[in-house]
Amino acid sequence: MKRAAIYSRVSTYDQHLETQILDLRQMAAQRNLEIVREYGDKISGTKAKRPGLDQMMTDARRGRFDVVLVWASDRIARSVKHFLEVLDELSRLNVEYVSFREQIDTAGPLGRAIVVIIGAIAELERSLIVERVRAGMRRARLEGTHIGRNPLVLDHEAIWRERCQGQSMRQIAKGHRISTATVQRSLRKHPTPILVQDLQKTA
């Protein structure tokens, strides 16, 4: 018997989740599904934060159920883009998606075809986002804008001086607000000018 999760949502507090839940419980019984948890939100569909949906997706990633039952697709997603993202992730998690109103079932042939189409659209959207980011970075470079964090500027002479004075790697790192690994690289890659000067004076 497959494990099922129910998700329902209404937009206002004067509406009731029970209408959707009763239909979904009946559908689960007809399909011989075991309902392991019911999730619900009373919130507008355009809101980004939905505790019930967020918890359901977290449990899906943990493998808590095999099927998600929703009353309608517009109950689970706030936009077409969000719906594609949710369905694509559920598909990658091997969680089936069943919609009561639209009669969408990703376990059937038509449902699997829908998942393939949705996955392709989601992949295209991700590719377009990456290309837009790269185009923005190219334009920024052409305009002379620095991308990324500024290079770390170190006082290598001071680091060597403090080391020669007997300070530990950790003390030097704390004083310069850098890691001990950075102190080690500085000492290894930059010869000490202080020791060179001392040798010249004694020559």
**Mean pLDDT value of segment 55-79:** 90
- Chain-centre distance for alpha carbon 60: 15
pLDDT single digits (tens) 133-181: 888 888 888 887 766 666 777 888 888 888 888 888 899 888 888 888 8
Alpha carbons 180 and 167: distance in angstroms, whole number: 12
Alpha carbons 196 and 148: distance in angstroms, whole number: 36
Asked whether the predicted pLDDT for residue 48 surpasses 80, the reply is no
pLDDT computed for residue 176 by the predictor:
87
Does 30 fall in a domain?
yes
pLDDT computed for residue 198 by the predictor:
47
Asked whether the predicted pLDDT for residue 4 surpasses 90, the reply is yes
- Which of the four pLDDT bands, split at 50, 70 and 90, describes residue 203? very low
The count of C-alpha atoms lying within 13 angstroms of the C-alpha of 185, restricted to the half-sphere facing its C-beta, is 7
Torsion angle defined by CA atoms of residues 66, 72, 73 and 79, in that order, rounded to the nearest 10 degrees: -140
**Mean pLDDT value of segment 54-80:** 90
Domain total of the chain: 2
Residue-by-residue DSSP string for 9-64: EESSTTS-SHHHHHHHHHHHHHTT-EEEEEEEEES-TT-S--HHHHHHHHHHHTT-
Going by C-alpha positions, the residue among 106, 108, 130 that lies closest to residue 119 is 106
pLDDT computed for residue 59 by the predictor:
96
Shared-domain flag, residues 116 and 162: no
For residues 70 and 39, the answer to whether their CB atoms sit within 8 Å is no
Percent of the chain with pLDDT over 90: 28
Identify the residue with better confidence: 132 or 94: 94
Of 102, 124, 146, at which residue does a domain stop? 124
Of 124, 141, 174, at which residue does a domain stop? 124
Contacts of 196 (CB under 8 A, 6+ apart): none
Residue 146 DSSP SS3: coil
For residue 79, what is the domain's CATH number? 3.40.50.1390
Shared-domain flag, residues 89 and 170: no
Alpha carbons 39 and 123: distance in angstroms, whole number: 28
In the DSSP assignment, the letter for residue 151 is: P
Domain range for 184 is 156-202
Does 129 fall in a domain?
no
Percent of the chain with pLDDT over 70: 84
For residues 44 and 11, the answer to whether their CB atoms sit within 8 Å is yes
Which residues does the annotation mark as catalytic? 11
**Mean pLDDT value of segment 184-190:** 81
